[in-house]
Structure 1
Amino acid sequence: MNITRLTPDSTGLVAWPTLSDDRKAVVTVGAFDGMHQGHQAVIGRVVELAKRHDAFSVVVLFDPRPAAAHRYAAAHDGADMPAGMHDPQAVSGVDDRLRRMRDLGVDHVMLVHYTMAFAGKSFRFFLGQLVGKLGMRTLVLGSDAAMGKDRAGDVKAIATLAAATGVFELDVVDDRGPGTVRIPFNAQPQAPSEPGEPADPTAGMTKAELRAWSKKRQALLHRVWSSTNVRYLLSQGRIIAANDVLGHAHAIEGTVVHGEERGRTIGFPTANIDAAGADGYLPVDGVYAGWLVDMGLGDVAADDTAADAASADVVSADVADDDIAARLAADSPHRWPAAISIGTKPTFNEETGLADRVVEAYAIADDWLELYGHRVRVEFAGFLRPQVRFDGVDALKDELARNVEETRRLTA
């Protein structure tokens, strides 16, 4: 898969590359945060149609997420979100999305730095660029997609444009999945109070009870297959439900840093991940079962090579990284079951005076793992228990031993 990184100029114009003089493209557009099953359905359709028509399959991927960019602009007098700024609300990092697109068989990804000037372009102008520059013959979208200035380019408006111009076709994918779900307005992370995977609080409710629950919480309807729903489920500790929406295990990626090294003194050495800079949405505080994957030292992203010497902002990269793919594989020797803790170490924070949120993963391995400075991936399989304060180290060690056995069972 080929990636072209594009930065709009100060007026919002993008120097789109020419993919071919005669071969057309099937294109989709979005942030694809989390790459959940709805996203997979849309991109899968792009790849299917491209193969059918001997065309390129192309994804135009926005980074940062438009929602984050507009939120930042609203709070900073319309300024652009700085490149590389951490987005704690992103379900997944860009590298993770790119790897999943590669696995789906996408030919080209146009990774566009989303700016306010770019956002101000009309959807008609934007689609005209895709037709004229990328050779778009078919645009594939989800059922409630919208683009362009003021999100005026919804499916209905784009269908009208396609019919009127006759230069491209619109293919709409039913990406709603199993319907809708109600999510409380301005929902905040809420750690479960009991051990075990939390249940759906609305399960078994009558229509009247559900209406009352929704009214009390000002709950809004969202698609089950949506990044908003995944984010909400993770914020409540509902890992299994979130993974069902994603169609894969939710994960974060980050660099292993030095911690207090207390774990090794009690027999449970952990890999400490820099939570503030981790890619992917951190679930609510608690202890989880999952996996730890060592992705190697340094930057694991694909090496960039100049695509156009005349434009430093246009860079192509091949992300068919066999080493990373092998490390992420289910049978990889660089993958271990892991008990994962997210929180503020309540048993020790009175003693240390530290209350920073940390991510610690205890890999169930035969030998001590030296991972400092390595990029690692932490995948979540299920919620084990809330964070609690133990009366001493021995009680903590006994509970950690139980967590390890539960992790073995959930990841078997």
Structure 2
Amino acid sequence: MLRWNTLEEVPSGYGPSVVTLGNFDGVHRGHRALLSTVTDEAQARGVRAVAVTFDPPPLAVLHPERAKVQIAGLEHRLELMAGTDLDAVLVLEFTRELAAMTPEEFVHDVFVEALGATAVVLGTDSRFGVHNSGDINTMRELGQNYRFDVVEMAVVGQATSGLRNWSSTHLRQLLAAGEVDEAADILARPHRVSGEVVHGHHRGREFGFPTANLGPDMTGLIPADGVYAGWLERLDLPRGDPERRLPSAISVGTNPTFDDVPVRLLEAHVLDRTDLDLYHEQVGVDFVARLRGNVRFESVEELLTQIGRDVDASRSILLG
């Protein structure tokens, strides 16, 4: 999959193509259904399949006070999108200048001139152009003017989720409640937070449970405080390396047993391993199941006993 970061990087004369537009935050099942429609349409027409997205997300520029942490960081989103049959993704820097473009200016410059769109796939509730003034009906009108077809995608849901739509909003609610197993059902994979392993208090190593602590620049929405079973993936190692993906017990929160942890931390203990040196490695932490909420223990001994139980529970869930 090709990646372009500006319109100027798109090769001259690129196209024809089927194009879609969105933030794709989380690249959940709803997004995948839309992208599948894009690639199916492109294959049926014998043209290319392209997605257009933004970085940073529009809300971070227009209303930073309302902006939210992305469910998945940009690089993780692009990695997931590369797992589809898309031919290319255009990542546009969202600026106030871009936000001021009318719907027609945006469609003409991006979809028509740069990407040679013969069809546009758009969700029912999609908005684009200055003040979000463009919608699916606007796109249909522009399609008539510029001779491209418009395929409308309705909100996608599933019976097992009570017909709740596969949406980023619903995902945020689940993660805020620590319901990472239900979130995984919508994502079609475990939820991930990525970042660089940094030095912490080294308290876990002293207690016999060394942890990989993610730094403050981690990407991805951190779920509710608590203890989880999951996987630590060492992103710098090649795929297929047996040391790349490791079963872990994960802690999120301020650790209420100790008073010197004023900020939320994300730390992962790799099961049955005390020999790893992960400092400065890029890792992804995948959340599989929530074991419990955070508890303040009266003694270190009580804490260590519970950590042992958490490790055993994680091993049972992850390794059977």
Give TM-score, length-normalised by structure 2.
0.92
**1:71-120 deviations in Å (ceiling 9; x for gaps):** 12x79xxxxxxxxxxx7611000111111111102111111110111011
Q: Which runs of 5+ in 1 are unaligned?
A: 7-13, 76-86, 182-202, 204-221, 298-322
- The reply to whether residue 3 of structure 1 matches residue 13 of structure 2 is no
Q: Distance in 2 between matches of 1:223 and 1:70?
A: 29
Alignment partners' CA distance in 1, 2:89 and 2:194: 21
Partner of 2:253: 343
Q: CA RMSD in A?
A: 2.2
Is 1:109 the counterpart of 2:89? The answer is yes
**Kindly tell me: are residues 41 and 341 of structure 1, through their superposed partners in 2, closer, same or farther at Cα, counting changes over 3 Å?**
same
* 2:227 equivalent among 257, 271, 287: 287
Which structure has more RCO (C-alpha within 8 Å, separation ≥ 6)? Answer: 1
Residue 16 of structure 1 contacts residue 133 of structure 1 at CA under 8 Å; is this kept in 2?
no
- How do 1:117-132 residues align onto structure 2 when only pairs under 5 Å count? 117-129=97-109, 130-132=111-113
Unaligned runs of 5+ in 2: none
Q: Which residue of 2 aligns with 1:135?
A: 116
> What is the match of residue 127 of structure 2?
146
Give yes or no for contact 1:295–1:376 (8 Å, CA) kept in 2: yes
Aligned partner of 2:48 in structure 1 is 56
Runs of 4+ with deviation above 4 angstroms: none
C-alpha distance in structure 2 between counterparts of 1:69 and 1:281, whole Å:
19
Answering whether residue 208 of structure 2 is matched by residue 267 of structure 1, we say yes
Aligned to 2:243: 333
Deviations 1:197-248 (A, max 9, x none): xxxxxx9xxxxxxxxxxxxxxxxxx963111111111111111121112121
**What is the DSSP-based 3-state SS (H/G/I as helix, E as strand, rest coil) of the residue aligned with 2:157?**
coil
For 1:223 and 1:244, locate their aligned partners in 2 and report how far apart those are by CA, in whole Å.
12
Tell whether the 8 Å contact from 2:53 to 2:92 is kept in structure 1 after alignment: yes
- Counterpart CA distance in 2 for 1:103 and 1:151 is 30
Q: State the secondary structure of the residue aligned to 2:5.
A: strand
In the alignment, is the contact (CA less than 8 A) between 1:28 and 1:59 conserved in 2? Answer: yes
SS in structure 2 of the partner of residue 146 of structure 1: coil
Paired letter, 1:17: V
What one-letter code is carried by the residue in structure 1 that aligns with 2:142? L
CA contact (8 A) 2:155 2:165 kept: no
In structure 2, the partner of 1:156 is 137
CA distance in 1, matches of 2:152, 2:37: 9
Tell me, in whole angstroms, the C-alpha distance in 1 between the residues paired with 2:261 and 2:104: 53
Is this contact kept in 1: 2:71–2:172, CA < 8 A? yes
TM-score, length-scaled by structure 1 = 0.73
**Cα deviation 1:266-298 (Å, max 9, x = unaligned):** 111000111x3111001111111111111128x
The count of corresponding residues between Structure 1 and Structure 2 is 317
Query: What letter is aligned with 1:344?
Result: T
Is the 8 Å Cα contact of residues 193 and 222 (structure 2) preserved in structure 1?
A: yes
1:109-135 CA deviation, whole Å, 9 max, x = no partner?
111110111011111111112112211
The match for 1:296 is: 236
Partner AA of 2:267 in structure 1 = E
Aligned partner of 1:40 in structure 2 is 32
**How far apart are the structure 1 equivalents of 2:106 and 2:164?**
27
Distance in 2, matches of 1:19 and 1:28, equals 19
AA of the residue aligned to 2:119: T
